[in-house]
Structures are given as C-alpha cells and as structure tokens.
Amino acid sequence: MSARDNILRRLRQREDGPLQAPKSDFGVMTGRGWSQEERLARFERLITSVHGEVQHVSRENWTQSLIELLKTKSIRRLALGKTHPIAQEARQALATADITLVDVDRPIEDWQREQFENVDAGLTSTGGAIAETGSLWLWPTEDEPRLLSLVPPVHIAVLEANRIEDTFYELMVNLGWSKNMPTNALLISGPSKTADIEQTLAYGVHGPKELIVLVKN
C-alpha cells in the first residue's frame, strides 16, 4: 500500500468514530459599512503606518506625478509592463523623459541578473485594495510578472481610489475569487521588512525598501 492509501485509511477508520463538522458563521468578517472616503482614509492610514507611502494623483494627469516621483527618487531605470492601460499611459508619458524603460515581457532566465542588479524600480497596476488592513492586491500576469513587485528596490503601485473593499473576506467573496484563481495572487501591505535582529524594524531585507502607492482619484 502507498503512503497515500495508508494515511487516508487511518484517517477514515478513526478509533473514536466519525467527527461532526460544525457550521461556520462568517458574520464577524463583514458589516464594516465604511463609506468610500472612510475606506480610502483607512487604507492610507494603515499602509503608511507600516512604512508605505501614499500619493494622491489625478486621474488625467497621474503620469505627471509619476515623472516627478521618479525624479525625486532618482529612479533612472524603471521596469514595467506593456499592455495594461497603466503601463501604456506610463510608457507614453515617459518616452520623452530621461528614464530607461525596462521590458518585462521576456523569460526571467534571460535577464535575471539585470533585474536583480540594474533596475531601480518596478511599476505595477493593482487589482484594488483592502481598507481594514491597508493592503493592495495583485494578480501578476504575463504583462506584469510576479517578480516585478518584489525584486526592484522600489515598488510603485497604481491604485484606483474606487477599488477598495472593506475586508479581505468581502474582496474574495464579492469578486468570486474561488471560481477563478490565478497562478499567483498577492496581498502586499508595505515594503519588505524584518524584525529578526533584536526586534528592530529594518526595511528591504529581501524585497523593496520602498512601496509608493499612487492613488488615482
């Protein structure tokens, strides 16, 4: 008999007999009832409390703010997608700026070291955010791969202000995640951090040192 069969058999033939499965009441996960302003304010308060930065940008002119941001942070090489509207708008605006755009639509094997060592920042869209915990959610795609939000020292994420849900639970249920999970789904709440050296917080231990959220409103 295989390990699998043995394990399952032992679990099925329990000495103390079959177990009753209790019902779960998820009420405590819902019913926050925040308005859109409250959601945004809460998101902002929480993500900044864990060292995330938030910048409010205008819907029409957000790329202008992006250019200024890149200038103040001395970001010269920016990695970004091609087909997502956010990436397209950014590419257009940055074409004339003095910024090197790094393509990410190629197998990582071909440019791993370049990505690890020569990219100053990654720009991504986001699916939305969660007010309760100050989290962004991302579903990486072939246009915006998994490592784009992890490897470069700065992560710039663009969030639509009206895409903030109250809780993680509601986000999942309202958007029907269980029907349609991607190969990788992420919640990101602040830049990479550790407290492993005597409980002292340090940022950027493996992932980005800085997370900047551009909130389009």
Partner 1 sequence: MSVQEYTPQAFHRQAHDALGNPQIRANFRKAMGGLMDKRREAFAEWDLETLRELGANIRLRALARLPDLLETLETNCQANGIQVHWAEDGDEACRLIAKLCQEHGAKQVVKGKSMVSEEMHLNAYLEKAGIKALESDLGEYLVQLNEQTPSHIIMPAIHLNTDEISTILHDKTGLERSRDVDFMTAAARAQMRERFMAADVGISGVNFAVAETGTLCLVENEGNGRMTTTVPTVHIAVTGIEKVVEHLRDVPPLYALLSRSATGQNVTTYFNMIGGPRKPNEHDGPREVHLVLVDNGRSRIYQDNELLDTLRCIRCGACMNHCPVYTRVGGHSYGTTYPGPIGSILMPHLMGLEATKELPSASSLCGACGEVCPVKIPIPDLLVRLRQEAVGEGRGNVPGAGVKRNRTEVAAWKGWQWLATHPRAWRSGTVIAGKLRALTPSKLGVWTEHRTAPKPARTTLHALIKRHRRETNS
Binding to partner 1 (CB under 8 A) within 52-91 occurs at: none
Residue 108 as a binder of partner 1 (CB under 8 A): the answer is yes
Q: How far is CA 12 from CA 1, 3, 9, 23, 215, in A?
A: 15, 14, 5, 21, 52
Q: Is 90 or 132 the residue whose CB approaches partner 1 more closely?
A: 132
Residue 195 binds to partner 1 (criterion: CB under 8 A): yes
Contact 184, 124 (CB under 8 A): no
Regarding 31 and contact with partner 1 (CB under 8 A), the answer is no
Q: Between 41 and 108, whose beta carbon lies closer to partner 1?
A: 108
Residue 124 binds to partner 1 (criterion: CB under 8 A)? no
Minimum distance of partner 1 from residue 57's CB (angstroms): 24
Residue from 50, 93, 97, 101 that binds partner 1 (CB under 8 A)? 50
Contact assessment for residue 188 and residue 132, using Cβ atoms and an 8 Å cutoff: no
Please count the other Cβ atoms lying within 10 Å of the Cβ belonging to residue 150.
17
Show the tokens assigned to 72: 């103040």
Minimum separation from the CB atom of position 141 to partner 1 (A): 8
Mode of pairing for the β-strands spanning 193-194 and 202-203: antiparallel
- Closest approach, Cβ 59 to partner 1, in A, equals 28
Smallest gap from residue 139 Cβ to partner 1 (A): 9
- Under the binding rule (CB under 8 A), the answer on residue 197 touching partner 1 is yes
Neighbours of 163 (CB within 10 A): 16
CA nearest 119: which of 75, 81, 158? 75
Q: Quick check: 87 and 123 in contact, CB under 8 A?
A: yes
Binder to partner 1 among 11, 59, 72, 74 (CB under 8 A)? 11
Q: Which is nearer to partner 1, 2 or 72 (CB)?
A: 2
Structure tokens at 132: 């309760």
Per-residue mark of binding to partner 1, 147-186 (x: CB under 8 A): x--x----------------xxx--xx---xx--xxxxxx
